Amino acid sequence: MTILKVEQVSRTFPARHGNAPTKALEPTDLVIGNNDFVTILGPSGCGKSTLLRIVAGLDRPTSGRVTLDGREVTGPGADRGMVFQSYTLFPWLTVRENIAFGLRERGVSEAERNKIADAFIRQVGLSGFENHWPKQLSGGMQQRTAIARALANDPKILLLDEPFGALDNQTRALMQEMLLGIWERDQKTVLFVTHDIEEAIFLGSRVIVMSARPGRIKAEITVDLPHPRSYKIKTTPEFVQLKERLVEEIRTEALKVTEHA
C-alpha cells in the first residue's frame, strides 16, 4: 500500500538582486492513494514542477511536509522515481545501462540488471536500441528510456513532469497509450504533471487543476472513464464534456496570467 500525503506544502523562492521573493506555491494539500493515477493540470509557471520537485525531495518546502507511507520526505530517494521535463539520460551510458542505473546503484548483479532492463526495453518498445547512446535517439525514444529507467527501479510512486511536453502530437498520443498500458497492466501509483488538457483526462483517474501563480489547487475532477482506455475514447461525449469543463477552468487561469503580465 502506498499513500502519498502533501500537507500544507508551500514554496517561496527567496528574493534575489532586489527582486521581490517569488511565491511559487500556496499551502497545498493532496493525498494520493495506492495505484492512483493523478494528473496535475495548470498553466505555465503555476508551480507544477515546484510541487513535483518537493515530492521528489529535490527541493524543500517553505512550510508543510510531504510523507510517503507515513515517513517524511527529506531528500530524494529510489522510492520516488522521476521523469523530468528536460532530457536527462546519462549521455555516457547506453540505453540499457541508463535503464539499469538505479539497479546497479543498489548492487544488483549484472546478469539480473540486464534481464530487468531488457524487459523494460521491450515494454517501452525500444528493442534493438539497447546499445544505442542517447545522442542517437529521438526525443520520444529518450523519454521512453527515461520512463523505463524510473520504472526499472520499481519505485513506490512515479513522478512525471510533462514528460511528453516537447514531443509532436502523434508521438505524444502514442506515448500516452504506452504509459497508460503499463499502468493498466502493472498498477503503479503515478503523479503526472501536464498543461495539456486531453492528456490529463486521458491518463488520469483524477485531474487536479492548479491556479495561476501563486499555485494553488483550484479544482479536482474525477475521471470516470472505464479502463482499458484506447485513443478512441478521446472522441466520446463523456470525454468531450470533461474537456469542456477543464477548458473553462484553465482558461480563466491562463487569462489571469496574461492580465498580470
Partner 1 sequence: MRPLDPVTSKQRVAYGLAFFVVFVALWSWATFGGYVSKTFLANPLTMVQEGYDLLAKQGFIYDIGMTIWRVVGGFALAAIIAVPLGVLMGAYKPVEAFLEPFVSFARYLPASAFIPLLILWAGIGELQKLLVIFIGSVFQVILMIAVTVGATRRDLVEAAYTLGAKDRGIIRRVLLPSSAPEIAEILRLVLGWAWTYVIVAELIGSSSGIGHMITDSQALLNTGQIIFGIIVIGLIGLLSDFMFKAFNAWLFPWRLA
Ligand X SMILES: Nc1ncnc2c1ncn2[C@@H]1O[C@H](COP(=O)(O)OP(=O)(O)OP(=O)(O)O)[C@@H](O)[C@H]1O
* Interface residue list for ligand X (CB under 6 A): 13, 22, 24, 42, 44-50, 85, 195, 213
Number of neighbouring beta carbons within 10 Å of residue 112: 11
Q: Give the binding site for partner 1 (CB under 8 A).
A: 56-58, 75-78, 80-82, 84, 86, 88, 90-93, 101-102, 104-106, 132-136, 149-150, 153, 159
Q: Please, what is the minimum distance in Å from the beta carbon of residue 163 to ligand X?
A: 12
Buried b (16+ CB within 10 A) or exposed e, 30-47: bebeeebbbbbbbbebbb
Cα separation, 79 vs 154, in Å, equals 8
In which region does residue 57 sit, left (phi positive, over 0), alpha (psi from -120 to 50) or beta (all else)? left
Cβ nearer to partner 1, comparing 93 with 166: 93
Cβ nearer to ligand X, comparing 51 with 152: 51
Q: Please, what is the minimum distance in Å from the beta carbon of residue 133 to partner 1?
A: 4
Cβ nearer to ligand X, comparing 166 with 233: 166
Cβ nearer to Mg ion, comparing 117 with 197: 197
Number of neighbouring beta carbons within 10 Å of residue 95: 28
Q: Please, what is the minimum distance in Å from the beta carbon of residue 243 to ligand X?
A: 19
For residues 39-58, which are near Mg ion according to CB under 5 A?
49
Q: Please, what is the minimum distance in Å from the beta carbon of residue 250 to ligand X?
A: 12
CA 257 to chain centre: 23
Q: Decide if residue 28 touches Mg ion (CB under 5 A).
A: no
Beta strands 4-13 and 71-72 are unpaired
Closest to 257 measured CA to CA, from 215, 204, 224 = 215
Binding stretches for Mg ion (CB under 5 A):
49
